[in-house]
Amino acid sequence: MRGDKPLRVGENKVFGVWRHGDARFHTLAFQAATAYSSPLTVWIAADTDHHTQFLDRLRRSLTLYVLAAITLCGLLSWFAARQGLAPLRDMKSRAARVTGQKLGERMPVQAVPVEMADLAQELNRMLDRLQEDFQRLTDFASDLAHELRTPISNLLTQTQVALATKRDAATYRDILASNAEEFQRLARMVSDMLLLAKTARGVDLPHKERFSARLDGLALLDFYEAVAEEKHIRLRLEGDGEIEGDRLMFRRAVSNLLSNALRHAPEAGDVTIRIAATAQATTVAVENTGADIDAKILPRLFDRFYRADASRTHLDTDGSGLGLAITRAIAEAHGGRVTVTSSNGRTCFALVFPHRAIQA
């Protein structure tokens, strides 16, 4: 051991490591003073193999424990994540069952955690909107087929009858004139449906301008004056206001309401256009006297191809049932709305056009 780590001047203790064969010793060298001789240099060596073996066993044990803990934590984390995502899997399976023929599936709001409740509610609202739109589209397709069937059947019948036997030129002209009327009805229906499709997609208004609702209302009253005189109906216009939007579409919406009011107003009745302007919007109301509309029918008046003539004893109309639907679409295209009230012998349709909804 001597000479392994000799003491230097000023040092009292020196620690070191000494190897002897396969053995490994931790050493301590120091000087000790004696009373009977010169100072002695003392070396102490301690065998640390059992400490090393203990540390090696501890290291292996810790490694095994750490690996076991990692594995266990991974399994527990997987299980917790799987259980936590179970509501999402349920929502996925329910969403997979939604088809065009089965739109009644809804997300389990009460069975999901609070963190997912908002998502489930929003998905349910989305499914409600989809179901409503899908049902409306289905009804529209059915009504459209029914409406197109009548003029096409008339055209086919008249043409087959005309071709069955030889006729004179005057008869052929009458048949062609009747067919032309049916074609005009089909053309109006197709044009109305195209307008509804454009407004439903949120197409921007073709021509935006600021104009006087009173001036356009007076022009429409002049146009319908002959029809009103025939039924001895009094036409009036009250108020004034400005509209921001498309003038032609505005005229068409008010024209539809005036035509509807004149059709259902009784002899010697009244039809009034009232215009009221505020800082937020301009309201154009068309009011007519006559029989009240059943409250159960009011919510459906603006549905496509819906007619309430049977409840109002006026069956002499050749309309397609799209007029009020077009009126609502025009109002919504302007960022507004249309409402209807009917009581005490007066029916009032009101168009609301916001001032700030449309700006160039």
Which domains can be identified in the chain, with CATH numbers?
13-81 (no CATH), 114-200 (1.10.287), 209-354 (3.30.565.10)
In the chain, how long is the greatest CA-to-CA distance?
162
**Is the pLDDT reported for residue 20 higher than 90?**
no
Distance CA 354, CA 126 (A): 28
DSSP string, 276-332: EE-SSEEEEEEEEESSPPPTTTGGGTTSTT---HHHHT-------S-HHHHHHHHHH
User: Quick one: DSSP state of residue 203?
Assistant: P
Among 174-183, 185-194, 338-347, where is mean pLDDT lowest?
A: 185-194
Element (H, E) at 171: helix 169-200
pLDDT at site 177? 86
Element (H, E) at 262: helix 247-264
The strand pairing partners of 45, in sequence order, are 27
Question: For residue range 275-290, what is the model confidence (pLDDT) as tens digits?
Answer: 999 988 999 999 999 8
Query: Buried (b) or exposed (e) across 64-95, using 16+ Cβ within 10 A?
Result: eeeeeeeeeeeeeeeeeeeeeeebeeebeebe
pLDDT at site 298? 83
Question: For residue range 284-324, what is the model confidence (pLDDT) as tens digits?
Answer: 999 999 888 888 888 888 877 766 654 444 434 455 667 78
232 against 300, higher pLDDT:
232
Distance CA 183, CA 176 (A): 10
Q: What is the share, in percent, of the chain residues with pLDDT greater than 90?
A: 20
pLDDT at site 313? 40
| Mean residue pLDDT across the chain | 81
User: What average pLDDT score do residues 96-118 get?
Assistant: 80
pLDDT band at 62 (very low <50, low <70, confident <90, very high): very high
User: What average pLDDT score do residues 109-129 get?
Assistant: 83
pLDDT at site 60? 94
- Whole-model pTM: value is 0.57
**Is the pLDDT reported for residue 8 higher than 70?**
no
pLDDT at site 141? 75
pLDDT band at 81 (very low <50, low <70, confident <90, very high): confident
Question: For residue range 31-44, what is the model confidence (pLDDT) as tens digits?
Answer: 877 777 777 878 88
**Is the pLDDT reported for residue 6 higher than 70?**
no
pLDDT at site 357? 46
Residues 6+ apart with CB under 8 A from 130: 103
Task: Find which of 37-51, 119-133, 252-266, 344-358 is predicted with most confidence, using mean pLDDT.
Answer: 252-266
**Is the pLDDT reported for residue 69 higher than 70?**
yes
pLDDT at site 199? 66
